[in-house]
Amino acid sequence: MADISHRILLWDLPLRIFHWSLVVAVSTAIATGLAGGEWMVVHGRAGLVITGLLAFRIVWGLIGSRSAQFASFFPTPARLLSYVKGQWQGVGHNPLGALSVIAMLLLLSIQVVTGLVGNDDISFTGPLASLIDEARSYQMTGLHHQLSNVLYALLGLHVAAIVFYVRIKKHALLGSMVHGYRDVATDTPKPAPARPWKLLVAILLALTTVYAASGAWIEETPAPPAQPAQATPAW
């Protein structure tokens, strides 16, 4: 068995900032969505933050550091089978954990899209709702509410898995997502960091996505001019 005697920077700073920012943004979106009423303004803003974070993560998963790239941990059938057989060896997300990550990103992406074009006719209208017809906007709102229950379940499983690995398997998962380091075997290579310009690209694309999602670029249709009141004949 290889000696575990040194540490590597497994999760880079951009990935760690993304992770904890997403935790805060999703928690805010859930709390304000449940509160409703005037809190829906904050709910919408949290949704825009989540939109930007997801855009950043997708780009960072393609051009970021090696351990952040989807290709390094994507749960392929071969990796899942290897994990089930107890033969998987790796230092990042295990295949089941990777499956959970992919599922979470996909579900949040769907929630973002349905929220942006949704309209409940009461307290919230998505910034892009005017781009689709009203009936479809209502359908997206219904889907958004239904998938919220799926999100709660997935978050519950995620938290339960963390507790299991921390309490039972004694893996310092939370610590690794704070400082980024992990103890590994001496023959484990260090993940290659991403070049600074790639981080700039990811940030710019994330900000562009937030602007597009905000609907600030949509021209408002001017209201028709008021018709002058007709004078009533004296006779």
For residue 220, tell me if it sits in a domain: no
Structural domain boundaries, residue 29: 9-214
pLDDT at 233 over 60: no
For residue 168, tell me if it sits in a domain: yes
**Dist. CA 112–CA 106, nearest whole Å:** 10
What is the percent of the chain where pLDDT is above 90?
A: 58
Where residue 44 sits, what CATH number does that domain have? 1.20.950.20
For residue 114, tell me if it sits in a domain: yes
What does the pLDDT read at residue 221?
A: 59
pLDDT at 167 over 90: no
For residue 232, tell me if it sits in a domain: no
Enumerate residues 6+ apart whose C-beta is below 8 A from 24. none
Return the higher-pLDDT residue of 189 and 208: 208
What is the total count of domains within the chain? 1
Average pLDDT, the chain: 88
For residue 228, tell me if it sits in a domain: no
Q: Which helix (H) or strand (E) holds 22?
A: helix 13-35
The Cβ of residue 124 has, within 10 Å, a number of other Cβ atoms equal to: 21
For residue 224, tell me if it sits in a domain: no
pLDDT in tens, 39-68: 999 999 999 999 999 999 999 999 999 889
pLDDT in tens, 86-127: 888 777 788 888 899 999 999 999 999 999 999 988 889 999
Of 30-34, 76-80, 99-103, which has the strongest mean pLDDT? 30-34
For residue 65, tell me if it sits in a domain: yes
What does the pLDDT read at residue 53?
A: 98
For residue 106, tell me if it sits in a domain: yes
**Dist. CA 4–CA 21, nearest whole Å:** 31
pLDDT at 231 over 60: no
Whole-prediction pTM: 0.88
**Dist. CA 9–CA 199, nearest whole Å:** 17
**DSSP-assigned letter for residue 122:** S
Closest CA to 151 of 115, 175, 202: 115
